[in-house]
Amino acid sequence: MNFPSIHREGLPFIGAFVAVTAIFFVITEPLGWLGVVLTAWCIYFFRDPDRVTPKRAGSVISPADGVVLPMVQAAPPPELDMGETPRTRISIFMNVFDVHVNRAPCDGTVIATAYRPGKFINASFDKASEDNERLAARIRSTGQSEDGNDDIAVVQIAGLVARRIKSELAEGRAVRAGDRFGIIRFGSRVDVYLPTGYNPLVLAGQRSVAGETVLADTQIHEPQPQGDVK
């Protein structure tokens, strides 16, 4: 059996859990076994499995594992200077058991990044996109015009228990779809704002897989998918 690697952001936490567990065993054995369970969860949380990313021009790949929330029309974060015209926003909610490593949604170049402090309300609420702490990136996908109308925004948003957003994206950096670019601790969401011409291919309530699930595409022209929970 192949075990996934551990994201480097998790190593200090895992080390701390191991140290506390050792102390627990000195105090009392039952408490030590509780520490073992918590350490195992910490290792599980910071897992970083490999993914197989589809290669096709015009596709937007999921940047996060989790549940797709209801899609809405909303303007991108103002700090990215992408205008006030509403775009289709696909939001993915990550609970504390999901992989939290985030991945680039497309091939392209990072045009801008911006951090904005905020609240830490439940990330599954729609208002979290406006009110919560966030780190946003504007990506110009390969082959798109330089007028900015086709740029894609990807926004990491802190949640109720998330208190740390980590991103390696920087202005001018080239990325490829599926590249790892950051992580959020511990439970949060990621929003993707689509330009005109991208057809959503996922449903609210569906689970997405970072680096693998195709969220939207410019080459597939069909009605918005519909489905039932069964």
List the catalytic residues. 188
Question: Of all residues in the chain, what percent are helix, strand and coil, respectively (each to 5)?
Answer: 20, 35, 45
In 3-state terms, what secondary structure has residue 70? coil
- Block residue for tokens 């497309």: 106
For 195, the token pair is 């330009």
Q: With left for phi above 0 and alpha for psi between -120 and 50, is residue 173 left, alpha or beta? A: beta
Exposed, middle or buried: residue 190 (CB in 10 Å: 0-12, 13-18, 19+)? buried
Residue 43, phi then psi, degrees to nearest 5: -60, -45
Q: Helices (DSSP H) in the chain: which residue ranges?
A: 11-27, 29-45, 128-131
- Block residue for tokens 């609210």: 204
DSSP state letters, 174-224:
EE-TT-EEEEEESSEEEEEEEPTTPEE---TT-EE-TTT-EEEESS---PP
